[in-house]
Amino acid sequence: MIEIEYSPEVAQARAEGAPIVALESTIITHGMPFPQNVETARRVEAEIRAQGAVPATIAVLGGRLHVGLTDAQLDRLGQASDVAKLSRADFAACLARGGDGATTVAATMIAARLAGIEVFATGGIGGVHRGAETSFDISADLHELAKTPVTVVAAGAKAILDLPKTFEVLETLGVPVIAYGQDVLPAFWSATSEMPAPLRMNSAAEIAAAMRMRAAMGLDGGQLVANPIPAEAEIPAEELRPVIEQALAEAEAQGIAAKAVTPFLLGRIFELTEGRSLDANIALVLNNARLGAAIAVELSATRR
């Protein structure tokens, strides 16, 4: 087992058996510009604390796995320019080489499992990229959800993806996809979509109970909780559709591929929406943090 460096706050929470919520770090290094990235990270952490749980932002710094970051470490990460974007394939290599890395959904799930953290709140998961029938570009996040027993709270999959194929793959892999409080799946910046939800749950207690039941049955993998962005913060899907299509066309024309695709598309959509996509992104991450904390509190209560 690798050595993990816990922040003082997370170390105390572990010692006391307090609820903890894992947070990824690619949203800091690759998802938002500075200083909004650090400001948002601090707001998300504060939201989790306000709901009675402890935030644990995860990253690799100098080849060490950090679960929970101090203010100084968060500032350093938010301004760093040469930080690897880590998923399952390159997580171990970054640790072995002594590098710096920000964790994606898949890598954060792995780290959360190593640290004994059961809930992870993020923005949106990766999935099947458009054109995957020829590129085979499918995020490792989907397979991680099928392998690693962590409940992931997200506003669905990122809207730049092929959403129907993404949820079809999750169904094939046996991953429970739970829409929170509605009968259709959210679409990241948009609260609703035309896709019916495979499962609906209306409370953190229900979601926690489902996770406990999966463990009791010996089922592998986690759960995806699709939490819709608050209606007042959403960008309607019909408004976003031409913007996404334009950004995708530009990425293809410029030959952008692999891990560079998502940061490029998010940056271009930010420009085309005159910043509204970033405002929506911040709102949905905060919303997911609130629900993630509530689930962690329920899970913590069942351990006592």
Which residues have a catalytic role annotated? 24, 158
- Both structure tokens of 203: 């409370």
Do the beta carbons of residue 108 and residue 58 sit within 8 Å? yes
Do the beta carbons of residue 154 and residue 119 sit within 8 Å? no
Strand 151-154 to 223-226 pairing = parallel
Q: What's the rounded Cα separation, in Å, for the pair 14 and 20? A: 8
Q: What's the rounded Cα separation, in Å, for the pair 202 and 111? A: 28
For tokens 């290094």, what's the residue? 29
- Both structure tokens of 304: 């006592």
- Both structure tokens of 6: 């816990």
For tokens 């809930």, what's the residue? 119
Rg (CA), the chain: 18
Q: Which of 12, 77, 78, 75 is nearest to 49 (CA)?
A: 12
> Which residues partner with 180 through β-bridges?
201
For tokens 């710094």, what's the residue? 61
Say which amino acid occupies 280: A
